[in-house]
């Protein structure tokens, strides 16, 4: 019983810790981005792999895009589908946007 209690306490501590450090993947999923973006296969939107390739070495530009200031470079003809999604990100902090960009760029 004691062991079980310890396990519960430990896992609670880990998940609380995770909530403080911005987790790009969790943000990506909680904001509904995954509905149109698969890591490796193009679906409604381009795959994250394709986006990561287009933005390789351009984290700053990707952050600008996510803030709604950038121009689409991956599939500009479909930007009207993507553009309204950026509203989901308006409430994010600078740190959260950066974590999100880093997650996208990490997909290979």
List of residues contacting ligand HEC (CB under 6 A): 31-33, 35-37, 44-46, 51, 65-66, 72-75, 78-79, 81-82, 85, 88-89, 100, 104
Cβ closer to ligand HEC: 7 or 48?
A: 48
Tell me the closest approach of the beta carbon of residue 3 to ligand HEC, in angstroms.
40
How far, in Å, CA of 82 to CA of 2, rounded?
50
Q: What is the DSSP string of 61-74?
A: HHHHHHTT-S---S
Q: How many residues does the chain have?
A: 108
Tell me the closest approach of the beta carbon of residue 9 to ligand HEC, in angstroms.
34
How far, in Å, CA of 27 to CA of 100, rounded?
7
């Amino acid at each position: 019983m004691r062991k079980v209690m310890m396990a519960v306490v430990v896992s609670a501590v880990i998940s609380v810790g995770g909530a403080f450090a911005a987790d790009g993947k969790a943000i990506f999923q909680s904001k509904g981005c995954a509905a149109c973006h698969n890591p490796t296969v193009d679906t409604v939107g381009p795959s994250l792999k394709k986006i990561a390739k287009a933005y390789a070495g351009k984290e700053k530009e990707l952050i600008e895009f996510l803030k709604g200031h950038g121009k689409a470079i991956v599939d500009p003809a479909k930007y009207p589908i993507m553009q309204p999604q950026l509203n989901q990100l308006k409430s994010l902090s600078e740190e959260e946007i950066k974590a999100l960009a880093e997650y996208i760029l990490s997909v290979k």
